[in-house]
Amino acid sequence: MVKSHQEEYEEMVEIEDFRRHQPTGSDDSHPRLLSTNIDSNRSSQVHPDDFMAPQWPPSIVGSGSSPSLTLRSGATTPYDQLSSTKHLIYTDSRSSTPMNGRSPSKELSSSDSEVHEKVTILRKRDDADIWKGWRRHLYRLTPFLTFANTAVYMVYLGLRIACVILAQKATDTTFAAAWVFIAVELAVAIPSLMHNGWTMWSLKSRHRPKMRLVGNDVPTVDVFVTCCGEDDEVVMDTVRGALDQDYPGDKFRVIVLDDAKSPGLQRDCALLSHTYPNLYYMARTKIPGQPHHFKAGNLNYGLEQSHHLPGGAGEFMAALDADMIPERDWLRALLPHAVQDPKMALVCPPQLFYNTPPSDPLAQSLDFFVHVIEPIKDAMGVAWCTGSGYVARREALEEIGNFPLGSLAEDVATSTLMLGKGWKTAYVHEPLQFGTVPEDYGSHLKQRTRWAIGTVDTSFKLNFCLWGEKVRQMTFAQRFSGFLYASLSLYTILLSISLFAIPVILIMGKPLVAYANDTQLRWLIRACFANTIVNRLCEFVLFIPAGYHTGQRGSRYQLWMSPYIALCIIRSFVLPKWLGGQTQAFKPTGSLSSALNERDPKLKKNMFRRLWAILFNYMAAFHFAFVYLTLVAATLVSYRCFFQESHRVRDILICLVTHAFWPPLTFIFICSSMWTPIGYAIDPPQMPDREELLVRDPQTKVAHPTPQSKKVAFGGQAAWFEFEYTFSTLYTCLIFVASFLF
């Protein structure tokens, strides 16, 4: 008697179920074991595509008579009889996976109009609800103001250089301090100039509408939640949010990829799977001494194991970090961009946070990057994978060999390789996920230095996206972007070295600005005034999408974070191991037994403990030494101007301006930026318990951030820095006026 496909499938499921319950040793004995919801052996030949299943997954609703897989947790995964329907709308986007048994096809099985009927456009712009009105109209001036800012700065710099040369000819003296000061100013300005070169490309309009996928005939998605030692409650909030999607339950499943094998997390997933049968828990075996490739290895493990789940792999995969809670319309908001374009490989939203402290002293919010830089990159067709919340096409992942291994920045590497193969990436500027920033100083350093090392490492492997087979199909804009952001990380080495030139040249007592006569001095002051004002105006307009204060925090962050990034890059790519070389993110020196808990009003360590840890364990003594030496040098110079120069007021003022107080008081801005770690240790921001930042459904336990927690509060530190910027601008205006009076 010939068995039907369904009978064969049920029989083989029973065989597999029997194998699972045989005494085969501990879970750790097999590298392919799925720890809770399903155990699959790579040698098994049970593939749903053998039975030509045209849709996935089998209904998870089930009925009382439906057979089921018995799980170790005690939960069951019901499945209905496989449908024999052949009509598929999304076959253009499917890869060759066990879920469909088909080869990739670029032709739609239905007309384009049928596909588009599944998508509705809510707004013409995806960020229409984030910022609008006069801000959007003013922001259109960004490329013109950026160009003007760059042009005025180059004129000012050229005038400075010309005056030094003329002064040297007139006095037959070499003004070494003036040359060093020009070099330092240029070193500090180069990151901004490089960004300016990129932001001028915002002249190209960005057209990405706000769309939603409608109906139940939608693509199948495997949602991976990657975790490795995070608090179980934090992970479970993400899992519940992922399960609570406004998306057909039989079209997506949530797979927890636990690299720490937490018994509590495994138990919680098992309990929740009773309510959500589309929840799975997996934990790979990591053999000591063998590389496990961090997050990339974990994701690849999930991609591989999803082929063995009922129905095979999904058409798309999505990934969430352990702490990133998605909004309910997350999948419906991202997938339309991929559904409408068969060459769209990756769609990603911004990473936003709900526990950012007031004033965001460490610039953890990433708002400038996600609200300003990424939209510009998206307009140029070079959107980066943001690391969490993204949706990727399986076919594109398979073409690049899944997530690249051996990198600390698998997200950047993945999107870059996709672009190199001719695929497209998209950035959807909507608030679709909210996570947590590191809650202590050390974790913040480790996170950011890991990103920098990963970006540079990826760039080295891809020849800075300038040439090679892996980037062959990249456009000029895509290559320039890859080169720019890797260069900015490497540039921190030069910037860190140049910073200490400031106190040195001040202590030397030589003029920072050289000129041959008073007329040259007046024009230098006026050019400096023009450069300062245009720069302030450009910053105000450029920072509009993220917020003015957010942009200013980002500028200070580039300075005080540079020594940490530079040190880690030197250790990772320059020094041999016997000289301290190591390929890893920042690691504190000495013994730091526990976190400082600096943001917890009840558990935080005392100020002496915080200062000691940040100054010595976290090496902020470099920052302290810089600030101390610079202020001492400025005091000595001022003393000389008052007591060793002429007693005429005019001469004293000129001495002060040309030696230490050249507008716009660059040394004060640099000192205040470098003081950030010490100021943070003395007076860290206070944050409430995480639960107070969430609104939790008492029945389902699904939690989402409160509206207030999604915003960065304006605090005292932000007010102080604004006072500093205002003071330096007014000081520049005052010196400008004085150039006409004296």
Give the pLDDT confidence of 22-51 residue by residue, as tens digits.
333 333 333 333 443 333 333 333 333 332
* Inside any domain, residue 702: no
State the average pLDDT over residues 130-148.
87
**Omega before 57 within 30 of 0, i.e. cis:** yes
Give the pLDDT score at 65: 29
Is the pLDDT at 101 greater than 80? The verdict is: no
Give the pLDDT score at 204: 64
The amino acid that residue 425 corresponds to is T
Place 583 in a pLDDT band, splitting at 50, 70 and 90: low
Is residue 658 within 8 A of residue 513, CB to CB? The reply is yes
Residue 668 or residue 75, greater confidence = 668
Give the pLDDT score at 61: 31
Domain count, the chain: 1
Give the pLDDT score at 386: 85
- What average pLDDT does the structure give for the chain? 81
* Inside any domain, residue 425: no
What are 68's two structure tokens? 């089921």
Give the pLDDT confidence of 499-550 residue by residue, as tens digits.
878 888 888 888 889 999 999 999 999 999 999 999 999 889 888 888 888 8
Give the DSSP per-residue string, 659-673. HT--TTTHHHHHHHH
Is the pLDDT at 93 greater than 80? The verdict is: no
The amino acid that residue 53 corresponds to is A
Residue 484 or residue 342, greater confidence = 342
Give the pLDDT score at 46: 35
Give the pLDDT score at 592: 44
Is residue 557 within 8 A of residue 369, CB to CB? The reply is no
Distance separating alpha carbons of residues 607 and 683, to the nearest angstrom: 8
State the average pLDDT over residues 326-354.
96
Q: Which residues contact 234 (CB under 8 A, 6 or more apart)?
A: 322, 323, 436, 690
Give the pLDDT score at 180: 87
DSSP assigned state of 120? E
Distance separating alpha carbons of residues 483 and 290, to the nearest angstrom: 32
* Inside any domain, residue 266: no
Give the pLDDT confidence of 463-476 residue by residue, as tens digits.
888 888 888 899 88
To the nearest whole percent, how much of the chain has pLDDT over 70? 82
Give the pLDDT score at 216: 92
Give the pLDDT score at 197: 72
Give the pLDDT score at 50: 36
Give the pLDDT score at 132: 82
Is the pLDDT at 54 greater than 90? The verdict is: no
| Three-state SS letters, 634-649 | HHHHHHHHHHCCCCCH
* Inside any domain, residue 566: yes
Give the pLDDT confidence of 609-647 residue by residue, as tens digits.
999 999 999 999 999 999 999 999 999 999 988 887 677
Give the pLDDT score at 719: 85
Among 69-78, 112-121, 199-208, 430-439, the range scoring the smallest mean pLDDT is 69-78
Give the pLDDT score at 40: 36
Give the DSSP per-residue string, 141-183. THHHHHHHHHHHHHHHHHHHHHHHHHHHHHHT---HHHHHHHH
Most confident of 195-204, 593-602, 614-623: 614-623
State the average pLDDT over residues 116-134.
85
Is the pLDDT at 18 greater than 80? The verdict is: no
To the nearest whole percent, how much of the chain has pLDDT over 90? 50
Give the pLDDT confidence of 145-168 residue by residue, as tens digits.
888 998 999 999 999 999 999 999
* Inside any domain, residue 483: no
252-258 and 279-282 as β-strands: parallel, antiparallel, unpaired? parallel
Is the pLDDT at 492 greater than 80? The verdict is: yes
DSSP bridge partners of 51 = none
Give the pLDDT score at 722: 87
Distance separating alpha carbons of residues 170 and 517, to the nearest angstrom: 9
What's the residue count for the chain?
Answer: 742
Give the pLDDT confidence of 678-698 residue by residue, as tens digits.
999 999 999 999 999 999 999
* Inside any domain, residue 244: no
What are 62's two structure tokens? 């089930």
Residue 62 or residue 460, greater confidence = 460
Place 594 in a pLDDT band, splitting at 50, 70 and 90: low
Distance separating alpha carbons of residues 590 and 605, to the nearest angstrom: 17
The domain in which residue 736 lies consists of: 134-203+490-588+605-683+712-741
CA–CA distances in Å: residue 312 to residues 280, 305, 732: 14, 9, 66
Place 574 in a pLDDT band, splitting at 50, 70 and 90: confident
